[in-house]
Structure 1
Amino acid sequence: MTIKKVKDKISKDTTVFTVGGFRPKNTIQESWIGKVSAYKAEETIPIDKKGELMLPLAQIYIPNLPFIHPKISSTKILTVFISNEYPECLEKMGENWVIREYKSLDEIKIKDLSNSKSYIKPFPLKAEKRQDCPIWDGGGLSEELEDEILELENNGEIEDYYDIADFHQYEHKIGGFPSYCQSGIGIYDGFGDGFEFVFQITSDEKINLNVIDNGSLMFAKNEQTNEWSLYYDFY
């Protein structure tokens, strides 16, 4: 297999988010980090298992994204909350983290709610479409592709994998591949049987978010059950 064919095979579309740098219009069609304003009439900021308000982490307006992951293609707005104390990796959603999906804008009420203890600075997000590739160690490569890449190395066509995989996106993103700091768990069953990686929120000095030590919060969804799974690692 040629270098170009390998590069094409490891490449995936992704929506990458840039934090701030523009004046928000404060409409429902905008995506935010550190702020959630979309709720059902009966909803508020969720409470964690200690009885504390969770931190509003993100609000993503899906329809206008340049790339939409198939597992959220019928979702209009997705909101994310997390406890001040991180949950265990792969802990079930509910007591320490919550994702809410809204299929219709008709059920949305805009509420001015915040958590005074939140350290995450709110910023609007600008979305753009990019290509993404997996990291080498458990990042989503199949065994067959790993063999093809090792053959290119052995033949002297490349020195190592990152000669061709030079476009991994480490930012906040939807789609593509997780930005593992340690040995990864792939993009599929490592998150749990039937789960597939969908999006990540990563450490970001601008918004005052540090996932333990420059890690990322990685979220996967099960298409059959519609459940979500959360994994994170760090340096």
Structure 2
Amino acid sequence: MDETQIKLTLAKKATEFVSGGFKPTNSISESWIGRVYLYHENEEIPLDNDSELMLPLFQLCLNQLPFVPKILEETKIITVFISKKFPMDLTPNGNNWVLREYKSVDNVVVKDLKNDTSFIKPFPLSNRLIEEDYPVWEDPEIPDDISDKINELEDSGIIDSYYDIIQNNYSHKIGGYPTYCQSGIDFGEDFEFVFQIASDQKANLNIVDSGNIYLAKNRKTQQWVFYCDFY
């Protein structure tokens, strides 16, 4: 197995998001950072564990994306809210963060709801296809035979490190791999990484210390978990 075969084995598709740079349409198919305006009629911005209004963090509309993971093939919209007190450990949905998943747009309405204390600057998100997304070296998802081969290539002097072969995408993205800042984590049995929210200077979002948020979904129970790490 050579470098090309390693890349082919590990590569996954993803959709990357970039903040701003175009005039928003405020449509039901537009994704945002720092703003959520799609709700069911009876929904508002949720409260955190201290009964304080959460921050609208991410609105993800899947209909027109170039790539969507199979686990979300029936999902139309995802919205994410977070407490100012970021969870620091692997945390289930509803514990100082809330993810809402909509399988239909039929009962979704537009609401101009804001948290005036939010420090996150709202921007619409453009997107592009990532044909090849790769894990960080510390990702536990790298198969043992692949990591053994990479170590062999290093020991033989063919490469200096894993990062001679691949580059990571440190961005907002759906699909692909989590781009861990530290060593990776096991989300739990039947959980699959789904999307990443990155620190975003333009949106004034600093996740503790230039970190990322990773959201994973259980293939059997449909439950979601949150994890973040940072430098």
TM-score under structure 1 length normalisation: 0.95
1:22 is aligned to 2:46: no
Deviations 1:85-105 (A, max 9, x none): 112411221131010011111
What is the distance in 2 between the residues matched to 1:92 and 1:156?
A: 44
**1:231 corresponds to:** 227
Provide the aligned length of Structure 1 versus Structure 2: 230
What is the CA deviation profile of residues 171-205 of structure 1, one whole-angstrom value per residue up to 9, with x for unaligned ones? 000011111111112xxxx1122211110101111
Question: Is 1:135 aligned to residue 115 of structure 2?
Answer: no
Q: Name the structure 2 match of 1:104.
A: 104
1:149 pairs with 2:150? yes
Moved more, 37-46 or 131-140: 131-140
2:47 counterpart of 1:47: yes
C-alpha distance in structure 1 between counterparts of 2:19 and 2:223, whole Å: 28
- Which is worse superposed, 4-13 or 138-147? 138-147
**Equivalent pair of 1:139/1:180 in contact (CA under 8 Å):** no
1:206 — aligned with what? Answer: 202
Q: Secondary structure at the match of 2:71?
A: helix
Determine if contact 1:139/1:178 at 8 Å carries over to the other structure: no
Q: Distance in 2 between matches of 1:22 and 1:145?
A: 41
State which of 210, 214, 217 in structure 2 corresponds to 1:218: 214
Partner Cα separation in structure 2 for residue 24 and residue 153 of structure 1 = 47
- 2:189 aligned residue: 193
Query: What 5-or-longer segments of structure 1 have no aligned partner?
Result: none
In 1, Cα distance between equivalents of 2:96 and 2:113: 19
Computed over aligned residues only, the root mean square deviation of the Cα atoms, in angstroms, reads 1.1
Checking the alignment, whether the CA contact within 8 Å between 1:6 and 1:145 is kept in structure 2 is yes
Identity of aligned residues (%): 50
Distance 2:118 2:153 in 1: 49
Question: Cα distance, 1:139 vs. partner?
Answer: 5.3
Cα distance in structure 2, aligned partners of 1:35 and 1:124? 8
Tell me which residue corresponds to 1:5. 5
- How many Å separate the matches in 2 of 1:16 and 1:212? 22
Partner SS for 2:57: strand
Amino acid at match of 1:216: N
Q: Please list the CA deviations of residues 4-37 of structure 1 after superposition, one character each: whole Å capped at 9, or x if unmatched.
A: 1111112111100011001111111111010001
Instruction: State which drifts further: 15-24 or 147-156.
Output: 147-156
The residue aligned with 2:118 is: 118
